[in-house]
Amino acid sequence: MNCIHLLLRPYSASIREYFMTFSTLGLSAPIVKAVAGQGYETPSPIQVRAIPAVLKGRDVMAAAQTGTGKTLVFTLPVLERLSKLAPVQANQVRALVLVPTRELAVQIGESVTTFGRHLHLRSTAVFGGVKINPQMMKLRGGVDVLVATPGRLLDLHSKNAVKFDRLEVLVLDEADRMLNMGFIHDIGKIIALLPNQRQTLMFSATFPDEIRDLARGLLHDPVEISVAPPNSVLKIIKQWVYPVDQNKKSALLSKLICDNQWEQVLVFSKTKNGADRLVRHLEKEGIDAAAIHGDKSQGARTKALENFKKGTVRILVATDIAARGLDIYQLPQVVNFDLPHVKEDYVHLMGRTGRAGAPGQVISLVCADEFQQLSDIERLIKMVLTRKIIDGFEPIPALPESILDVRPFRAKKPKKFKNQKPCGSAI
């Protein structure tokens, strides 16, 4: 897989790029009008570099943190391309966007609708947790852009509700999570259903070696774009660790919220039951909180997120389903109540704060049993996190001191996809 590498570092853009607009990127007037209507004036660095490549039909691998504007990198040029095609036919899909979570599917679906409002295109988002029949009805007339989670998409295909033989573009958003965190089998099935001749766009916060190996079977001669060195930590985000015993984490979190007068905090818990217990504890302390996880109905998840955005819920406690795709403007605090088991998820959780250049802070409550996870995270981000001890919450046993391990991680041998349709396929 031969790549053209474009690495974007701070202040490295050319003078010409500073004066780029969405119209000079090659986008048509209806799309530029929709962009302006949302208050966007100047494209971000990744948009300046990637949108022209997508418009030229190139395959793209883009490594970018959430908040850099990567959704528009594929949304705008895909809409531009589809606007020049004949109307879509029954049950057909012209562009498929695969995402790992329901929340991300909803948000990208809304983005497609917003920026395609002046175009005669059809789009919808499909995901599990809701009835499938209404989704089948929306697909009956065909859609230009379909945003989908893998499991629900396969369910719809098994019911002959969606066809891919006219597919023009495949987008894999949050690709590292989908391909490396249990979606490999479903993604492989979906890839086998798609035409070999297509444009493929892959977006991710990180591209570790095993994901690059997987990408070799999916992309052809891609342009590779990074807005920062791999796994780098945004300098504007402050990070530190509070050593504390596991059974005192809830009390410490309540104290931090009250003492610092935090008004909006996204908290990550490793389990669904843990998230629910924490919400009950916070509510007993008089702190408005809600949980969002896989056992919640889609309606409950949507309501909790909306209330959090509006400020009627002060604390949103989420499991790793919410590690990606929660689009909350200028979220100031993220708390890791539990450290993530997958070290790369720490970087993704960081992406919930420090959005679009705004300051943010990531606080991790760490007990002695999580020391190995802490060490792996520090090795990944290439820095030892500052520790702060709170009187009355000193852990027993103490959290061991960190010694930065500078050795690179050894990539796991990945499972490769063959980008071919199976023999006898009806598609």
Q: Are residues 109 and 10 in the same domain?
A: yes
Is 426 a member of any domain? no
Q: Are residues 214 and 107 in the same domain?
A: yes
Rg, Å, the chain Cα set: 22
Q: What is the pLDDT of residue 66?
A: 61
Is 392 a member of any domain? no
Q: Are residues 140 and 19 in the same domain?
A: yes
Is 66 a member of any domain? yes
pLDDT of residue 123 exceeding 80: yes
The domain containing residue 19 runs over which residues? 4-226
Q: Are residues 175 and 39 in the same domain?
A: yes
Pick from 14-23, 169-178, 217-226: least confident: 14-23
pLDDT in tens, 291-308: 988 788 878 888 888 898
Q: What is the pLDDT of residue 42?
A: 85
Q: Are residues 13 and 105 in the same domain?
A: yes
pLDDT of residue 412 exceeding 60: no
Domain count, the chain: 2
Mean of the per-residue pLDDT values of the chain: 84
Q: Assign 405 a pLDDT band (cuts: 50, 70, 90).
A: confident
Give dist(CA 393, CA 251) in Å, integer. 9
pLDDT in tens, 343-394: 877 877 776 665 555 668 899 999 999 999 999 999 988 899 999 999 999 9
Q: Are residues 258 and 161 in the same domain?
A: no
Q: Are residues 319 and 183 in the same domain?
A: no
3-state secondary structure the chain: CCCEEEECCCCCCCHHHHCCCCCCCCCCHHHHHHHHHCCCCCCCHHHHHHHHHHHCCCCEEEECCCCCCHHHHHHHHHHHHHCCCCCCCCCEEEEEEECCCHHHHHHHHHHHHHHCCCCCCCEEEECCCCCCHHHHHHHHCCEEEEEECHHHHHHHHHCCCCECCCCCEEEECCHHHHHHCCCHHHHHHHHHHCCCCCEEEEEECCCCHHHHHHHCCCCCCCEEEECCCCCCCCCCEEEEEEECCHHHHHHHHHHHHHHHCCCCEEEECCCHHHHHHHHHHHHHCCCCEEEECCCCCHHHHHHHHHHHHHCCCCEEEECHHHCCCCCCCCCCEEEECCCCCCHHHHHHHHCCCCHHHCCEEEEEEECHHHHHHHHHHHHHHCCCCEECCCCCCCCCCCCCCCCCCCCCCCCCCCCCCCCCCCCCCCC
Q: Are residues 269 and 200 in the same domain?
A: no
Specify whether the backbone of 77 is left (phi greater than 0), alpha (psi in -120 to 50) or beta: alpha
pLDDT of residue 98 exceeding 50: yes
- Of 173, 203, 226, the domain-final residue: 226
Pick the more confident residue, 267 or 215.
267
- Of 207, 226, 245, the domain-final residue: 226
- Of 226, 259, 289, the domain-final residue: 226
pLDDT in tens, 236-279: 688 999 999 999 999 999 999 999 999 889 999 989 999 999 99
Q: Is the pTM of this model over 0.75?
A: no
The residue-averaged pLDDT of 15-24 equals: 67
Q: Are residues 260 and 210 in the same domain?
A: no
Q: Are residues 245 and 378 in the same domain?
A: yes
What percent of the chain has a predicted confidence (pLDDT) above 90? 54
pLDDT of residue 179 exceeding 90: no
Q: Are residues 111 and 8 in the same domain?
A: yes
The CATH number linked to 170 is 3.40.50.300
Give dist(CA 157, CA 135) in Å, integer. 12
